[in-house]
Amino acid sequence: MKIAVGSDHRGVEYKRLAITFLAEMGHICQDFSPDAAGPVDYPDIAGAVCGAVVRSECERGVLICGTGIGMSIAANKVRGIRAALCCDAFMAERARLHNDANVICLGAERGSGNLREILKAFFQTPFEGGRHQRRLEKVFQIEADSLFDKNC
C-alpha cells in the first residue's frame, strides 16, 4: 500500500520510526514533511497528506504532531477524509473496522512504545461494512449538507 506520511516539527523522530515500521510491513511511504529544520504549521502538512489521499495518489495517510489533536482537526476539514486520532491499537482497529478511517493521527509526545501495534492494527484491519456502512453514509450526508447549509 502507498501511504502519505507527514509530521510537524514535534513529530519528526516519531514519523521516522513510523516510516521504518511501515516499510517493514511492506508499505511504500511518501513523506510530505518539509526537509528544513525548524517549526512548521501542522495544517500545511495535514493538507498535503490529505490531498494525496483524496486524489488517490496514496491509499491512506499518517499524520503526526505533538498530541495528534491539531492534525486530526485539520485533516477532518478535508472533504473525503475520515481521520482518527488513535492512542492505542484498539482505537486504530476500531477506526478502520467501524469508521473506514483513511488517515490515522498520532501524538508523538505520548511515546513510541506501542507505535508498531497501532500501525499494524490500522493498516491490517479491513472495514467491516454492514451497519457501519449505513452510518458512514449518514456521515457523508452531513458532510455534503454542511457545504450548502447557510444556517451553519
Q: Which residues are catalytic?
A: 65, 98
Q: How far is CA 131 from CA 93, 105, 152, in A?
A: 17, 25, 28
Q: How far is CA 4 from the centre of its chain?
A: 9
Write down the residue that cell numbers 461494512 correspond to. 129
Strands (E), 58-107: 60-65, 83-85, 103-107
Hey, which residues does 83 pair with through a beta bridge? 103
